Amino acid sequence: MKYQTGRAGRIIVARFEDREDILENLAVIAKKENLKAGIFYLIGGIREGRIVVGPEKDEMPPKPVWKQLGESHEVVGIGTIFRQADEPKIHFHGAFGKKDMVKVGCLREQSETFFVLEAVIIEIEGVNAVRELDPVSGLTLLKL
């Protein structure tokens, strides 16, 4: 285990409008605000998105299992923002629900707000954490 201690910095509250790209807008905010590290919470609606719901098998490198949301879902979740090669890298896991069906996974690639989505971003100060490509897993992982 590796860890560092930091402290909460600025708190950013954002509202994403209908059809806005969620992951892209989080990265835009992080760039504009020069956010090096942070944690965020999302709550609201998502219209489109692709999520990874786990690996096919417990082996390296993992082969992801993809699910397409394809219609409006309620969403609640938590994510992190750390830099990879001086660009913000978003990592978000959430629960996506529609009627009596719930999917849980890592939102990647495309994402689109349905009606409105709220984000609360808390800056983490005093840590030197970045994301780097791990050659064994092929994933971009947190490095302390």
Distance CA(140)–CA(91), nearest Å, equals: 10
Residue entry with tokens 């950013």: 12
Q: CATH no. for residue 24?
A: 3.30.1330.80
% of the chain exceeding 70 in pLDDT: 100
Q: pTM (2 decimals)?
A: 0.95
**Three-point CA angle 78, 124, 104, nearest 5°:** 10
| Alpha helix segments (H runs only) across 18-115 | 22-32
**Residue 1 within a domain:** no
- Domain range for 130 is 10-143
Domain tally, the chain: 1
pLDDT of residue 72: 97
pLDDT per residue over 35-60, tens digit each?
A: 999 999 999 999 999 999 999 999 99
